[in-house]
Amino acid sequence: MARKKEDGPGGLLVVDKPAGFTSHDVVAKLRGMARTRRVGHAGTLDPMATGVLVVGLEKATRLLGHLALTEKEYVATVRLGQETVTEDAEGELTASAGAGGLKRADLDEAVAGLTGEIQQVPSAVSAVKVDGKRAYARVREGEEVELAARPVTVSSFVVHDVREETAEDGTPVADALVSVVCSSGTYVRALARDVGARLGTGGHLTALRRTRVGPYGLDGAHTLEQLQERVDAERPLPVLPLGDAAAAAFPRWDVDEEQARLIGNGAQLRMPAGAVAVPGGGAVLDGPVAVFGPGGRFVALVEDRKGRAKSLAVFA
């Protein structure tokens, strides 16, 4: 029996997703460009949203579930004065209370109340499963979905500008340009909904752009058109090598050859906290640590389990 071909080392691509594309659409495009089926993404973006989508090729797909848990940053426009069934501009209007005469001080107070460690009810049209079925699928079938609140962290929620507008149905509304830095699992559309609820105006998203996922930002992102041009010119895709991707996203632990061999075989070695370096400096946070052997060889992702390294994924 012929042996199955081993995946190449692969790496990450940071894509600037266009509006109108699902995250799966982007993955499908890149499968063709990279000529591999082993492609995945970290952190779904809705079709309306644009911006940073981190895509993994080959072995790097095994990093994606851990990258999806990192901090994210967005720029968004929140329309106050109207509500929609999807909490964004793609859904049908459900209420038009208006936002005429909205005071900036009231908006800033509402935003401040949704900053920090909060309990957030996910959007009813999210991918959260209810009895094994996605919430959005239940909503599309006409069901009323109530999801439980969950803890999230909104590190920064800032209003940069507010403009009075008139909606197509004549409702006086206010469009607020905001930026958000938040933990994994935070729904920006739910923040728009909840700001509107606090103000008594209702609210929904009209634009959303993700500017960062962990250490990966728009400055290193490529559009699908740019990537296709490279393929057409027979130039390699700008893939961030697996080891570089891990070093940028996770705390780093450098080990010797024997330790690398043991960790690669699943041994749970003691983790010396002082030997772990964090990207950008600062304290070591809970979560995966990237292990590197001699010569900068990426060995594994591990996590601290009572002072010992528990392997999450082995790459060497």
Name the residues annotated as catalytic. 46
- In one-letter notation, the amino acid at residue 299 is V
Q: Among candidates 137, 118, 140, 120, which has minimal Cα distance to 129?
A: 137
Yes or no: say if 142 and 120 are a contact pair by the CB < 8 Å rule.
no
List of residues 6+ apart from 31 with CB closer than 8 A = 37, 39
5: Cα within 13 Å, side-chain hemisphere: 7
Structure-block tokens of residue 283: 């304290």
Q: Output Rg (C-alpha) for the chain, integer angstroms.
A: 22
Q: Among candidates 238, 188, 8, 219, which has minimal Cα distance to 88?
A: 188
3-class secondary-structure state, position 249: helix
CA distances from 195 to 120, 187, 190, 254, 287 (A): 12, 13, 8, 45, 31
Structure-block tokens of residue 11: 């790496």
CA distances from 127 to 9, 122, 124, 138, 142 (A): 30, 9, 9, 10, 16
Structure-block tokens of residue 213: 């996922």
CA distances from 218 to 47, 138, 281, 294, 313 (A): 18, 34, 22, 32, 28
